[in-house]
């Protein structure tokens, strides 16, 4: 059974088309990830599903109804830290519980239950200003876990979190996932998208590829990716490495480059020699397993996230 059906969805900001005739079906209890770079339209799409924005044309149905008619079953987690830092964690959850219509006693009961669920019992009475980024995100996640929410939309929930906090966050998501809840994750991070049961890659307002993470990686028919970390990044090194990329696609990374090639790892010594003969130093080199970010790059020729200068 489909919990969300989107047909021919169009959204424009002025003359710019942000969502371009998009069609998407998401099944009940599915964990679906919309992955794409900033500006690809994924946040706009998620905010239309969450009834925050209104489309120019097309339809969005959640269990057969418009999003604005089923707000009581949608839990939306915005990207920003929206909790009140001058209140305690518990006071924040009480606020959202009562905004959802719970009476004081019921709210207190539900909030205590949520605090246990997200493992925040010890810190529930501390002010949010004393929380770490991970704790705060966990608290905000709890605001969408109130009983009755059947569709959860998480917009870039791990932005700004360290790897450990990110792991904890998805551990918590895994707990929720076991129930009959549909989860929509918005992300530009490949490792986050790997947690989903199905991923839609979004570029320029369209879904350009869709499938399980494994299907997407297998479908691009890529044998090998060589990750090269160099002491510096410049046009000359780029030119040398491009010579080894049969696909003529070389992706710049935070610390160097990724070479997409169908050749085996035997090419690695040749790369090292070519770079060093030109007076540059390789810090690290090795073959890596393709990720969803690589799939996106292979399909669009563009990185899913900006690299550090």
Site for other proteins in 94-113 (CB under 8 A): 94-103, 107
Site for other proteins in 144-173 (CB under 8 A): 153
Contacting residue, 8, 38, 65, 72, with other proteins by CB under 8 A: 72
Provide, rounded to whole angstroms, the least separation between the CB of residue 160 and other proteins. 14
Site for other proteins in 218-247 (CB under 8 A): none
Site for other proteins in 23-52 (CB under 8 A): 47, 50-52
DSSP structure class, residue 291? -
The order of strands in the sheet holding 282-288 is 250-252, 256-261, 224-230, 282-288
Toward other proteins, which CB reaches closer, 43 or 203? 43
- Determine if 143 is a binding residue for other proteins (CB under 8 A): yes
Distances (CA, A) of 296 to 3, 96, 133, 213: 26, 37, 29, 11
Provide, rounded to whole angstroms, the least separation between the CB of residue 51 and other proteins. 6
Provide, rounded to whole angstroms, the least separation between the CB of residue 101 and other proteins. 5
User: Which residue stretch of 26-34, 67-75, 118-126, 194-202 sits at the interface with other proteins (rule: CB under 8 A)?
Assistant: 67-75
CA 86 to chain centre: 29
Distances (CA, A) of 286 to 76, 194, 201, 224, 238: 40, 22, 27, 10, 17
Token pair, residue 150, equals 């059947």
DSSP structure class, residue 130? G
Contact in structure between 226 and 272 (CB atoms under 8 Å): no
Provide, rounded to whole angstroms, the least separation between the CB of residue 154 and other proteins. 12
Binding site residues, other proteins, CB under 8 A? 47, 50-54, 71-72, 74-76, 78-82, 84, 86-87, 91, 94-103, 107, 143, 153
């Amino acid at each position: 059974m489909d919990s969300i059906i989107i047909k021919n969805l169009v959204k424009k900001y002025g003359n710019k088309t942000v969502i371009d005739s998009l069609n998407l079906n998401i099944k009940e209890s599915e964990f679906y990830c919309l992955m794409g770079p900033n500006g690809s339209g994924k946040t706009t799409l998620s905010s239309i599903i969450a009834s925050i924005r209104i489309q120019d044309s097309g339809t969005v149905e959640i269990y057969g109804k418009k999003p604005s008619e089923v707000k009581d079953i949608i839990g939306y987690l915005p990207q920003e830290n929206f909790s009140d830092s001058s209140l305690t964690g518990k006071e924040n959850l009480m606020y959202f519980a009562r905004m959802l219509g719970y009476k004081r006693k019921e709210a207190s009961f539900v909030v205590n239950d949520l605090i246990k669920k997200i493992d925040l019992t010890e810190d529930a009475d501390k002010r949010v200003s004393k929380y770490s980024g991970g704790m705060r995100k966990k608290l905000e996640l709890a605001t969408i876990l109130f009983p009755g929410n059947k569709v959860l939309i998480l917009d870039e929930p791990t932005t700004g979190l360290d790897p450990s906090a990110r792991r904890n966050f998805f551990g918590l998501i895994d707990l929720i996932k076991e129930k009959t809840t549909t989860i929509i994750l918005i992300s530009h991070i490949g490792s986050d998208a790997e947690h989903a049961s199905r991923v839609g890659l979004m570029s320029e307002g369209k879904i350009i590829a869709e499938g399980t993470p494994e299907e997407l990686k297998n479908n691009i028919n890529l044998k090998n990716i060589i990750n090269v970390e160099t002491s510096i990044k410049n046009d000359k090194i780029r030119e040398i490495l491009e010579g080894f990329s049969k696909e003529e696609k070389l992706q710049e990374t935070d610390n160097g480059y990724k070479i997409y090639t169908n050749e085996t790892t035997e090419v690695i010594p040749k790369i090292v020699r070519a770079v060093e003969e030109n007076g540059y130093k390789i810090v690290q080199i090795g073959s890596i397993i393709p990720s969803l970010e690589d799939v996106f790059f292979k399909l669009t020729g563009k990185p899913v996230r900006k690299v550090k200068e």
